[in-house]
Each structure stands twice: as structure tokens, then as C-alpha cells.
Structure 1
């Protein structure tokens, strides 16, 4: 089947519009929605199940290079990004992303990655939905602690193809960072997460045979082009919507989205 059939392009455009909006709204990069749908699309094109999951994760992460820039620009205009936290966590994020993308990602099976995705997303949703008030005295850790947190966020993001918001937003709110600032800062962290992991995927899959025309290792470039083009147009709208919502609505929306995606990926992990 030719890639550029209208139904397939339409599906990818809709996926890009939806994930771009969510990137701006919730600071998640859209990857957690993108991975299941891309897995399905690639599987229908004859890509083996294990490889389709990995290609979906890698391609999803690469799109965050574009959506994060569009989203963070809108958040920055509103003064919501905590740039000192971005500087504190970015070095660890780059290290964790490279370790995941160039190492662990290539070695783990697709169903294992799906299981890791589901478990960590479930935990993040539970923490957010509980709405437990953090200790008033708790603050973000110092530089060493932020670097360590960034390493973990970058590594986990690389395994599941998400922008890190499913860990970084709950972590920052636990440390008394207001939810709107946490979402905006998570959007800014999406770029170093995506860059480090995409480089890692390219290195890790460099010697793999092309699974489809237009694929480079784990990356599927035609899907990347279509989805990224659509998603960057919607990320600013998502960011504006986030600032129009109250804190309670935003937390509930974030948690419910995470639960739905976690359930699907846990099913994928045990169904294969």
C-alpha cells in the first residue's frame, strides 16, 4: 500500500492535531496518545509487532522536537516556564535520554516497553488524581537532585516515547511548583528529552534493515513529517486553553488521560 493514500494521511493529520493540542494543554508532548495509534498503523502495514512498537515510540519521540518548541513558545509568552528548573534538569535529561535511546531501548522487547509505559503512567495518574497536598516546606531539590530527577525522567521517556510530562508534572507539583508552571516547564523540558532520545534511537538502530520505505532505523520519517506539521499548529491553542482552565480541571483532565492510556498499553503488554 502506498504511504500517501488519502485515508492514511487523514489519520496521521488527525493524530497530529490531537497530540499537538494535548502537548500544549498538558505538557506531555502528545507521545502517550501517539504511540498506540502509530503502533496500529505500522502493524497494518506489515511491520512485525515487536518492531512496530519500537518504531512508534521512536517516531513519536521525534515529533516532540517540533511540538515542544511550538508549545513552550506559547507558555513562555505567559511567563509560566520556570527556566531555572529547565536548566537544572536538562543535563540529567540528556544523559538519561542517551542511555535509554542508544542502549536499553534496542535491547528490550516491545511488550516489555509497553508494560513499563503502563505501570509508570498509572502511578503518575494516581498521584495526580489523589490531589494530596505536598508538605508546605517541600521545595524542588538542589542542582544535584534536579540532575538526578532529570536523568530518571529522560530515561523513562526514552523507553516509552513520551515527552516526560507523565513524570515531571507530578514530580514538580509534589515539590510545590504550581500546576500551570509545572505544565509549562514540562513542555520546555520536552525538547532536550526528544533531542537526546532521538539521537539515541538513530545510533541504536543505525545498522537495522529498513522496515518500510522511508524508515531510518527505528524512525519512520514519512509519519514524522505529516504528524509534526499538523501538531505544531495546535500546540499554541492547547497552551492557551490550559491557562484558561482552573487547577482542579487541569489535574483531573491530566489524570483521566493517563489512566486511559495506561490501561491500553498494559493490555498490549499482556496480549502479545
Structure 2
């Protein structure tokens, strides 16, 4: 049964850890959730190809809920650049639709696992060395921002992440102050997650081997439990960020991300 105590406990722990780390380090939860949800689904008899796709889709869907609390916190400080959100959002929706409805359904789970492993390795390297692009130009016009949004939405849709590791460096490069870039990226998480989640539902229609309580590629038990728990611990992580040595913690977490990337690389190669 999908509501057995051991499953609920595992998903609760994953949600609590994801929320805390997101608040502490400012990272999206997808890089943590996808490998663990893949493992949970695989242990429940879901095939390798499908478990990878469902993990990515479910991870993305949780961001719909976690992004709301994050946006409220940033909005209180007036840090969100809504002008950038309005210009990037249309491209994000377009890129997400192409990824989640089209490419995601066509690509094999093994290919998506390899893309995910590459993305997480790149993100871990950025985090380990605390890489930040040097501001060198102003933000492009509306057309340029729509194009950038399309890339952000598309890549996010393939890996189940909120796009922060793409949008924050991009905005910093465009001379947006880092606190504004982080806040604006949090606001962009909602349209990214919503557009992709709708696409995963549409793209997964008609599949006959889905586990119980699934809507398209989204596994509802994991979505409900992880989203509920991560919202509880995200504020605690944000508060801890002001007291703990975040730069040192980022290096430790980057090392963990390398291990998760290696696991997804193994899953991808094993299912080829």
C-alpha cells in the first residue's frame, strides 16, 4: 500500500531534510529529492526508466508549494525584481512546455538520469568553489529575457530542479545584486514548477504501469508528504544560515551532491 508507515517515514525525513537544506544553503530540493525518490520507487517495483521520470516530475511538483513560502519571505524584504519575473516568465512557460510535454516524454529515463547527473555535478562544482560570475553587463531586453527564460524552463523541466543554479548566475552576470537575484529566482520557481507539473501530467496520460495514486508522471503520496514537511523546516534552515559557517557547509554538501550524481549516473548507465 502506498501509505504504509515505513514509506511515510522515509518521505517525511526526505521532506524535512530537503526543506532545511534549501533554507540553509539556498539550493533547490530537486537535486536531493530525485535520487532518493528514484530509489524509493525502484524498491517498490517500479521499472528503472519510469522511476527516474516519476522522481523528476514529483520533485518539480513539490516546488509549487515550497516556492510560495519562500516568495512570501523575500517579498517582505522587497527583494524580488518583479520586472524581471514578468519578462522571464513567458519564456519559462514556453521552455517548460517543450521540456515536460515533448522532450521529457520522448527521452528514455536513462538519458534523463545522465542529464541529471551532469547537471548536479556542475552545480556541485559551483557550490564547492563558491563560483559566482563577474557582473559584466545589464539585463537584455524583453526578447532576450524571454529567450533566457526558455532555457531556464527547459533545463529545469529535464532535471526536476527549480532553476536557481541557472537563473541566479545569469542575473548576477547581468549586474543584478545577489540578494535580488536569489529572491527573484525564488519567485521564478513557481511558474517553472507549475508549467512543468502540468506538462508532466499531460505527457504521462495513458501510461498503464504507473504505481497507485499517480497523476501522469507525478506520484501524489510523495508530493503530499514531502511538500508538507519541507515547508516546516525551510524557515529553520534560513534562520540557521545566519549562525552557521555556510561556506564550509556548502563544500560538505557539494561532496554529497557528487555522490548523488554518481548514483544517478549508475542508474542511467545500468538501464541503458
Superposition TM-score, scaled by structure 2 size: 0.88
Decide whether aligned partners of structure 1 residues 256 and 74 sit closer, same or farther in structure 2, where only a CA change above 3 A counts: farther
Structure 1: segments with no counterpart, 5+ residues: none
Q: Is the 8 A contact 2:67 2:186 kept in 1?
A: yes
Decide whether aligned partners of structure 1 residues 216 and 135 sit closer, same or farther in structure 2, where only a CA change above 3 A counts: closer
Quick check: 1:266 aligned with 2:265?
yes
Aligned to 2:32: 33
Q: How far apart in 1 are the matches of 2:145 and 2:233?
A: 30
Q: Secondary structure at the match of 2:147?
A: helix
Aligned to 2:227: 228
Q: Is the 8 A contact 2:48 2:267 kept in 1?
A: no
Deviations 1:72-110 (A, max 9, x none): 212222333222222221111111111111100011011
Q: Is the 8 A contact 1:28 1:164 kept in 2?
A: no
Decide whether aligned partners of structure 1 residues 85 and 236 sit closer, same or farther in structure 2, where only a CA change above 3 A counts: farther
Q: How far apart in 1 are the matches of 2:138 and 2:46?
A: 46
Decide whether aligned partners of structure 1 residues 35 and 79 sit closer, same or farther in structure 2, where only a CA change above 3 A counts: same
Aligned to 2:206: 207
Q: How far apart in 2 are the matches of 1:227 and 1:65?
A: 12
Q: How far apart in 2 are the matches of 1:231 and 1:115?
A: 26
Aligned to 1:16: 15
Superposition TM-score, scaled by structure 1 size: 0.88
C-alpha deviation, 1:142, in angstroms: 2.4
Decide whether aligned partners of structure 1 residues 185 and 258 sit closer, same or farther in structure 2, where only a CA change above 3 A counts: farther
Aligned to 2:108: 109
Deviations 1:247-267 (A, max 9, x none): 856875775565444333223
Structure 2: segments with no counterpart, 5+ residues: none
Q: Is the 8 A contact 2:42 2:51 kept in 1?
A: yes
C-alpha deviation, 1:135, in angstroms: 4.5
Q: How far apart in 1 are the matches of 2:131 and 2:112?
A: 29
Q: How far apart in 2 are the matches of 1:176 and 1:158?
A: 26
C-alpha deviation, 1:45, in angstroms: 0.9
Deviations 1:159-192 (A, max 9, x none): 1111111222222233333433322222111110
Q: Is the 8 A contact 1:122 1:259 kept in 2?
A: yes
C-alpha deviation, 1:27, in angstroms: 4.3
Decide whether aligned partners of structure 1 residues 204 and 262 sit closer, same or farther in structure 2, where only a CA change above 3 A counts: same
Q: Secondary structure at the match of 1:3?
A: coil
Aligned to 2:90: 91
Decide whether aligned partners of structure 1 residues 38 and 133 sit closer, same or farther in structure 2, where only a CA change above 3 A counts: closer
Higher mean C-alpha displacement, 144-153 vs 74-83 = 74-83
Q: Is the 8 A contact 1:29 1:190 kept in 2?
A: no
C-alpha deviation, 1:137, in angstroms: 3.8
Q: Is the 8 A contact 1:27 1:186 kept in 2?
A: no
Q: How far apart in 1 are the matches of 2:264 and 2:222?
A: 21
